[in-house]
Amino acid sequence: MFTIFKHKEEREAVKVRAEVERRQLQALKSGIPQLINSLYHYDVKYYPSWIKIPGREYVPKIVESAIERRANGRDVVELVANTHPYTFFYTHPSVETGDGEYLLELYTGENRVLAIRGHIHNTSSLDAYIKGDWVDDFYKLRKQIEHDERIRKEKEFRNPKEINQLKKDFGIK
């Protein structure tokens, strides 16, 4: 009887691990972990500060609110994007072990939908991934960031003060 249970347990373990690997590969191919990793490190973690600046120039309209705090030794950023609440937990790389590995987790409500381990802003492993509607919100956020950046560059390109300074600096009449 014990060997039957053991074999059934082993079959279950093999089945689950194979499905996890399939889902990890699917997630990595989709680019979602890389997108979330990049958004967090270059944008999201700064939103609580940037949102306080009049005009919110660097916070896309899709982001309705953003606050930061520390909890249990982790950085926490709570934001509402496209009317949905999200919480990021970031565990800094360990100084004691010197491995430089961080952990970035994303929650929708109480549900952990993504967990990324990485080194210097690069994904090294995917510890959790549950596909859901949250994915669309972060694609929309990226599109809004790209749109806003394009508008800023267009304004800078046509900036009369800068154009006049360039004319002066390069002897253009």
pLDDT by 10s per residue, the chain, length 173:
455 556 888 888 889 889 889 988 888 898 999 999 999 999 999 999 999 999 888 999 999 999 999 999 999 999 999 999 999 999 988 766 556 789 999 999 999 999 999 876 666 789 999 999 999 999 999 999 999 999 988 888 888 888 888 888 999 98
Q: Are residues 54 and 113 in the same domain?
A: yes
Mean pLDDT of all residues belonging to the chain: 89
Give the residue among 53, 51, 116, 55 at the shortest CA–CA distance from 77.
51
Cα separation, 152 vs 156, in Å, equals: 6
pTM recorded for the entire structure = 0.82
Q: Same structural domain for residues 1 and 46? A: no
Mark whether 124 and 157 lie in a shared domain: yes
Q: Are 86 and 105 part of one and the same domain?
A: yes
Residues 150 and 91 in one domain: yes
Q: Which residues of 158-169 are buried (b: 16+ CB within 10 A; e: fewer)?
A: eeeeeeeeeeee
Please give the pLDDT value at position 1.
Answer: 47
Let me know whether 103 and 38 are in one domain.
Answer: yes
Q: Give, to the nearest 10 degrees, the angle between helix 160-170 and helix 134-158.
A: 50
What pLDDT does 170 receive? 93
Q: What's the CA dihedral at 60, 62, 63, 65 to 10 degrees? A: 130
- For residue 149, how many other CB atoms are within 10 A of its CB? 12
Hunting for tokens 């859901």 — which residue is that?
132
What DSSP character marks residue 59?
A: S
The answer to whether 96 touches 151, Cβ cutoff 8 Å, is no
Do 14 and 96 belong to one domain? no
pLDDT of residue 119: 79
The verdict on 78 and 154 lying in the same domain is yes
Judge if 58 and 100 occupy the same domain: yes
pLDDT computed for residue 122 by the predictor: 67
Q: Are residues 113 and 88 in the same domain?
A: yes
Tally of domains within the chain: 2
**Whole domain around residue 125: which residue ranges?**
31-170
Residues 1 and 48 both lie in one domain: no
pLDDT score, position 2: 52
CA–CA dist 53, 66 (Å, integer): 12
Residues 53 and 108 reside in one and the same domain? yes
